[in-house]
Amino acid sequence: MKFEATPLQDVYLLQPRVFGDERGFFTESWNEQTFREAGLDIQFVQDNHSRSARGILRGMHYQTEHTQGKLVRVSSGEVFDAVVDLRRSSPTLGQCYGVNLSAENHRMLWVPPGFAHGFYVLSDFADFQYKCTDIYHPDSEISLAWDDPTVGIEWPVPANEAPQLSAKDQQGLPWDELPLFD
């Protein structure tokens, strides 16, 4: 597996090895030893799988308690995946990074605790899977406004269209009202 540093401190884009032939393909999406050898000693406690249709935007979510690191990937379809650094002590505080993840490119993104995360569906539908380092804790979940101008995520939303948002995501907080991490 190839671990590529991104512009955000501690966020990695991963490219697993894919072995394919006329029958299909095989890839290893998680191996504790491989990650440990890359300097990422991670323990996962929860796996999630969501399916969303084209034009749905989920995010930008994070939890202030039971803070989750996430290893994210797409097993069918394609999404634009985005993260924002919320760690006061980080040199990349407030900066964002986005990348297309798809079943075709097999790429994954490691999002450590202390980041807001979300994605926008580019294909007819997408199956989004992610491993989490802590449990889901709805009472401490926060949503950063997906379109906050201070953060400036460049979502690939077509001109004259608006993404489909949940009621929770429609109430996302602006950057200057967010609780941040130390």
Question: How does pLDDT run across 98-155, given as a tens digit for each residue?
Answer: 999 999 999 999 999 999 999 999 999 999 999 999 999 999 999 999 999 999 999 9
177 φ/ψ sector (left φ>0, alpha ψ -120 to 50, else beta): alpha
Among 61, 66, 106, 117, the one annotated catalytic: 61
What is the mean predicted confidence (pLDDT) over 149-168? 96
pLDDT of residue 37: 96
| 180 falls within a domain | no
Calculate what percentage of the chain has a pLDDT beyond 70: 100
Q: How many distinct structural domains can be found in the chain? A: 1
| 13 falls within a domain | yes
pLDDT of residue 50: 97
CATH of the domain at 77: 2.60.120.10
| 182 falls within a domain | no
Among 12, 62, 120, 130, the one annotated catalytic: 130
Of the listed ranges 5-14, 24-33, 130-139, 157-166, the one predicted with least confidence? 24-33
pLDDT of residue 118: 98
Catalytic residue flag (residue 130): yes
Quick check: 85 and 93 in contact, CB under 8 A? Answer: yes
| 82 falls within a domain | yes
Quick check: 95 and 11 in contact, CB under 8 A? Answer: no
pLDDT of residue 179: 97
Quick check: 44 and 131 in contact, CB under 8 A? Answer: yes
Catalytic residue flag (residue 66): no
Domain span including residue 42: 2-175
The beta strand positions in 70-153, using DSSP E, are: 70-76, 78-85, 96-102, 108-111, 115-121, 125-132, 141-143
